Amino acid sequence: MALTFVQYDDYKGSSGLTVANNTALNTTSANLIVVCVTYWDTTGTVSSIADTAGNTYVKAIAHKKVNTNYSAEIWYAEDITGNANNITTVTFDESCGYPWISVSEYSGASDSYSLDDTSSATTGGTTHEAGNTTASTADSVIVAAINMSLGKTITVGAGYTALDTRTSYDAGEYKILTSTGDVNASFTTSLTDAGVVVSAIFKATGEAPGGTNTQVNIGDVWKEVDSIQINIGDVWKDVSAVQVNIGDAWKDVF
């Protein structure tokens, strides 16, 4: 089943501890939801995301420009429970300025281990790039977001489709990918300025996870685990398998 864009909604707030999309989405079970969040704050961050259907959201990538307010994050929920009037709410760990949220839905995404790769960068000039992300499968989607200051027109990259109704401060975009390899999400601006850009690639149903089935979060970036060891009697031993309990059944994840 090919990965396909379904719909999106975005909303810009003024300041506060939460921000939510202001138009409820009729979401479909088993789909993927990707949430782009931008905000202005030097220390604040997204603490959690929840929606009407009770889906579980996981952070894919976050980036904050040092010594400035610019911040951007991407979160996602796999194999969702659908809801006819779904609202997604972002909660921050402190009140943040000018929060923006873009909630997009995709069908055909993998119901587990859909996150393929992420990238982020602090940018400047009139071309703003997230840096290379690598698509390990031929059927996937890349989603990106930018956050910067007011006073310029933001345009999505060539071949990308906008995930926002705004033209300044922040913007989101997506592109359905049909081949493997490096992808560099980008935006252009009418004036020179600094900002931050984040991007994430998600795989389609039936596409095998790249590398292993286990990832750890290091510096807000998910890294695949190539090996696991435990210390037994002051000797490090390789772990041959790791399991989790899903629905009262133990499933291998490594």
Q: What is the DSSP letter of 68?
A: S
Q: What is the pLDDT of residue 165?
A: 84
Q: What is the pLDDT of residue 211?
A: 46
Q: What is the pLDDT of residue 240?
A: 65
Q: What is the pLDDT of residue 126?
A: 94
Q: What is the pLDDT of residues 56-96, one digit of tens each?
A: 999 999 999 877 789 999 999 999 999 999 999 999 999 99
Cα–Cα distance measured from residue 101 to residue 142, given in angstroms and rounded to the nearest whole number: 17
- The residue extents of the domains of the chain are 4-210, 211-254
Q: What is the mean pLDDT of residues 168-192?
A: 95
Q: What is the pLDDT of residues 203-235, one digit of tens each?
A: 998 765 544 456 676 655 556 665 677 777 666
Could you give the percent of the chain with pLDDT greater than 70? 83
Burial call 96-131: b when 16+ CB within 10 Å, e when fewer: bebbbbbbbbbbbbbeebbbbbbbbbebeeeebbbb
Could you give the percent of the chain with pLDDT greater than 90? 71
Q: What is the pLDDT of residue 208?
A: 54
Q: Of the ranges 116-120, 123-127, 154-158, 167-171, which one carries the lowest mean pLDDT score?
A: 167-171
Q: pTM here?
A: 0.82
Q: What is the pLDDT of residues 127-158, one digit of tens each?
A: 999 999 999 999 999 999 999 987 789 999 99
Q: What is the mean pLDDT of residues 12-21?
A: 94
Query: Using an 8 Å Cβ cutoff, are 189 and 128 in contact?
Result: yes
